[in-house]
Amino acid sequence: MMPGYPTNRPQRPPLVREWTAQCVVLAVCACISAGFGQERILYASELSRMPVDTRAMAMGDAGATLAFNSLSMFWNPASVSFMPGYDVRIEGARIYGMSSQGLLSLSVPMQDGLNAGIMYDAFFPGPILQNDTLPGTLVDRLGNEELRADGSAEGWFQNNQNLVLLGIGKKFGIPVPRPPGVSFPIPVNLGIGVNAKYLWQTLTPGGKVRMGMNINIDVGGLLQIGVDYDLEKNMISRQVLIGAAVRNVVPTDMVWVNSPEDYSEPVDNSQYYGLAYVDDAGLGFLTWKAALGLHREKQGRIVSEENGDRTTGYVSTYHYGVEIGLWRIVDVRAGLSNRHVTLGAGVHYRNMFIDYAFRFDEVAYTPLRLAVGVSF
């Protein structure tokens, strides 16, 4: 029973107690309120903000410069231009034993440094308790029990979300003058990419299906500076990567079908910057990568329901990650995602990969995120 509540109130089941934590970490802000005798949908979730890619997530979400696989285009559309061949990736997560997320991605090389990719992302949070209007923000309610629901539920509803992303990127070689007598190449490449996205979301308050839709684009750039080159393997052995991406560039709205009062809400953009150093030359059996990231997300909330005033602003978070490769087979990863610890490991044999991530998120930990892939 929740401390501070009268003893004659019913005890909330475990699923209800975990719902608030689920919403905070996953940004699933779907609340139902009653007004003027009608239901009104507030704060629809953006699936495009939920992080993906097990390797990048284990490295603190510093994904703007980590062109690992076909899922990397989620963080930076330009990363698809650095894929050397075909890449197929399947990823799944079980979050708090309640919610499920599944992803499927594919990148395809075309010609002259032009590559394309596609990604499908599905999120199913399971049944969510429908309560009366809750005061304050989700974070406010975590620290103040007076703001939480009193257990008088109105039923359950679903909040299923789907995202389809189509990306295309091209890599350009930049000629760099070298001093006389230097025979090995030091390549500099610039990748530019664009993602086209379609997001749809269904809510079922009171047994009624509400469907939200949005179309948007992401843009990004990734600069690769070769520090050392392995002539025997014909590859860049040490490199510096500088990346930047803007998500949800077009100022469109999340438009809801079959919702009362023609409800819609703005889809705010986000900015992602990163710097990484990759050392594939190694020291014997050891290779390593290090990445830094800065995320700036524009967030808005209604501060007055009477006049609809909205305050907006960018919130900055910092992200750090490292990966240590052992014998070019096993990778161990760790990071900080806005002060929250992330851990992970992976095994790759020839062109096949399997990766795992464990995260200490804002409220609780996420124990299971697993990905498998193949490159050819």
- 256: Cβ contacts below 8 Å, ≥ 6 apart: 41, 44, 210, 211, 212, 213, 263, 264
- Does residue 26 form part of some domain? no
Residue 351 in tokens: 């062109």
Residue 56 in domain? yes
CB 337 within 8 A of CB 61: yes
Q: Strand, helix or coil at 171?
A: strand
Burial of 343 (0-12, 13-18, 19+ CB in 10 A): middle
Q: Is the pLDDT of residue 182 over 70?
A: no
CA distance 218 to 181: 43
> Is residue 68 assigned to a domain?
yes
Who has greater pLDDT, 143 or 219?
219
- Stretch 40-44: mean pLDDT, rounded? 44
Buried b (16+ CB within 10 A) or exposed e, 266-290: ebbbbbbbbbbbbbbeeeeeebbbb
Cα end-to-end span (Å), the chain? 55
Residue 269 lies inside a defined structural domain of this protein: yes
Reply yes or no on whether the pLDDT at 21 is more than 50: no
The string of pLDDT tens digits covering residues 185-226 is 678 999 999 999 999 998 887 777 888 899 999 999 999 999
Joined tokens for residue 366: 């996420």
* Confidence at residue 45, expressed as pLDDT on a 0 to 100 scale: 55
pLDDT digits (tens, 9 = 90+) for 279-317: 988 788 899 999 999 999 876 544 334 455 545 578 899
Helix (H) or strand (E) holding 53: none
Report how many domains make up the chain.
1
Residue 224 lies in a domain: yes
CA distances from 187 to 173, 177, 277, 287 (A): 7, 10, 15, 20
DSSP class of 75: T
Closest CA to 122 of 100, 107, 140, 138: 100
Q: How many CB atoms lie within 10 A of CB 257?
A: 11
The answer for residues whose C-beta is within 8 angstroms of residue 95's C-beta and 6 or more apart is 22, 25, 26, 101, 366, 368
Q: Report the distance separating Cα 12 and Cα 5, nearest Å.
A: 11
Report yes or no on 27 lying in a domain. Answer: no
Domain assignment of residue 215, yes or no: yes
pTM over 0.85: no
Closest CA to 334 of 76, 50, 57, 51: 57
pLDDT: which is higher, 5 or 357: 357
User: Which amino acid appears at position 221 of this protein?
Assistant: G
Across the range 354-372, mean pLDDT stands at 89
- % of the chain exceeding 70 in pLDDT: 74
DSSP string over 118-148: EEEEEEE---EEE-SPPPS-HHHHHH-GGGS
* Per-residue pLDDT at 36 exceeds 50: no
Within its chain, how far is the Cα of 311 from the centroid?
Answer: 24
> Tokens standing for 314?
């960018």
Higher pLDDT, 191 or 149: 191
Q: Which residue has the higher pLDDT, 341 or 25?
A: 341
CATH number, residue 311? 2.40.160.60
Residue pair 265/302 in contact (Cβ under 8 Å)? The answer is: no
Domain assignment of residue 103, given as a range: 50-120+156-375
Asked whether 42 and 256 are in contact (CB, 8 A), the reply is no
Instruction: Using pLDDT thresholds of 50, 70 and 90, give the confidence band for residue 112.
Output: confident
* Rounded CA separation 79/316 (Å): 23
Residue-by-residue DSSP string for 332-370: EEEEEETTEEEEEEEEEETTEEEEEEEEE-SSSEEEEEE
pLDDT exceeding 90 applies to what percent of the chain?
Answer: 49
Residue at 1 is within a domain: no
Q: How far is CA 323 from CA 16, 88, 277, 292, 328, in A?
A: 37, 22, 11, 12, 12
pLDDT at 132: 54
